[in-house]
Amino acid sequence: SLVTPSSVLFCASAFILNPLPSAHHRTISIHHSSIDSINNDHSNNDSAAAQISRTLQDIEKDLLANPSKLQPILEQHDDDDREPTPNELAKETLLSTRLPNLPLNRTCTGPSTIEGAGRGLFAMEDIAKGELITCYPGDALLCDYSELEEEDFDEDDEEEEDFDDEEDIDFEDDDYCDEEADYIEEVVLWGEHVDATDRLEEDEVFDGIVDKDLPPLTSYAATVDDVYSVMGMPILDNNPAYYGHFANDGAGHIAIQTGVADAARRGIEEIISSYVSESVELSNARHKPIADGLHLGTFASKDIKKGEEVMVTYGPDYWMTFEG
């Protein structure tokens, strides 16, 4: 099984440490222990992933050598407090780009086999374990610079206050919370390919549009790393090379049905660990960074037969805060 005690513990501790994650963090998470098993799987059929990696790295070099090409993404940072570095801008440009003509015509969308899950992603041919199935589009990027800022913050303040000594900190103290809130910065950036008329207001990204029954765009977010999550737009649905955002989670309903309301009886750890076991058992794919995080791909974690629904594990944080 791909579920190791440490992966369950990781998921459990992530939830316990952050029992009320904000809507901003409702992203599909990546299970790192499983990623290793894909990396170590020397399938000789990874040419599409390798090709895309090389293309991305070439474009990254070109962007860094021609800073004017970073201008469109830099302009979107106009209102930010912090100045992004050229490397960050190049990465953001690539994460929010849909590369043209990718050799990935392996999937289609259709009604999910999971009741109430809407559309799902289906294999149009047999796909071997380890192969790239499709990419996850970064139509919009969610950038959370707080991790980076925290490092700066800790360094800056080390001499003034001893943050290592937890007894000195009163976590209930309003000033402490305000001080922390000040340097947390979340930014939404749009890919150039997304029409101005399709771009959502920031509150619509996080809350959806209730009248139009439009879910938050964050429910289509998948984690790339500590800073970036990519959000695919469900209306951009005609490119099989970028269909990763249509993969459902086979066991999501378990967490929805039992949910936090049942926590007193079963215990939150048990709910989380049974969800993770079932979801991983039912899943046949994983979202995984390509080219050191310049893109996100959806890779087969098991052999997939033509016609099968492609499913991934979103992680407990996603479902524990799900309001659909």
Ligand X SMILES: C[S@@+](CC[C@H](N)C(=O)[O-])C[C@H]1O[C@@H](n2cnc3c(N)ncnc32)[C@H](O)[C@@H]1O
Q: Which residues bind ligand X (CB under 6 A)?
A: 112, 114, 116-119, 215, 219-220, 234, 245-246, 248-249, 252-253, 324
Q: Are strands 295-300 and 309-310 parallel, antiparallel or unpaired?
A: unpaired
CB of 27 to ligand X, least distance (A): 10
DSSP 64-100: HH-GGGGHHHHHTTTT-SSPPPHHHHHHHHHHT---T
CA distance 218 to 200: 12
Which 3 state secondary structure label does DSSP give 132? strand
Measured on CA atoms in the order 13, 18, 21, 27, is the torsion positive or negative? negative
Q: Which is nearer to ligand X, 250 or 289 (CB)?
A: 250
- Amino acid identity of residue 168, one-letter, is D
Helical pair 32-39 and 5-17, crossing angle rounded to 10 deg: 140
130 φψ region: left (φ > 0), alpha (ψ -120 to 50), beta (else): left
Q: Which is nearer to ligand X, 67 or 324 (CB)?
A: 324
213 φψ region: left (φ > 0), alpha (ψ -120 to 50), beta (else): left
Q: Which is nearer to ligand X, 146 or 239 (CB)?
A: 239
Q: Which is nearer to ligand X, 93 or 301 (CB)?
A: 301
CB of 245 to ligand X, least distance (A): 5
Of all residues in the shown chain, the one whose CB is closest to ligand X is 118
Residues 6+ apart with CB under 8 A from 262: 271
CB of 143 to ligand X, least distance (A): 19
Q: Which is nearer to ligand X, 86 or 324 (CB)?
A: 324
Which 3 state secondary structure label does DSSP give 212? coil
CB of 111 to ligand X, least distance (A): 9
CB of 5 to ligand X, least distance (A): 24
Q: Which is nearer to ligand X, 17 or 261 (CB)?
A: 261
CB of 239 to ligand X, least distance (A): 15
CB of 221 to ligand X, least distance (A): 8
CB of 155 to ligand X, least distance (A): 37
Give yes or no for a contact between 308 and 122, defined as CB atoms under 8 angstroms apart. yes
DSSP annotation of 113 reads: S
Place of tokens 């479902």: 319
Q: Which is nearer to ligand X, 70 or 311 (CB)?
A: 311
CA atoms within 13 A on the CB side of 322: 23
Q: Which is nearer to ligand X, 114 or 214 (CB)?
A: 114
Residue 228 β-bridge partners: 143
Give yes or no for a contact between 157 and 163, defined as CB atoms under 8 angstroms apart. yes
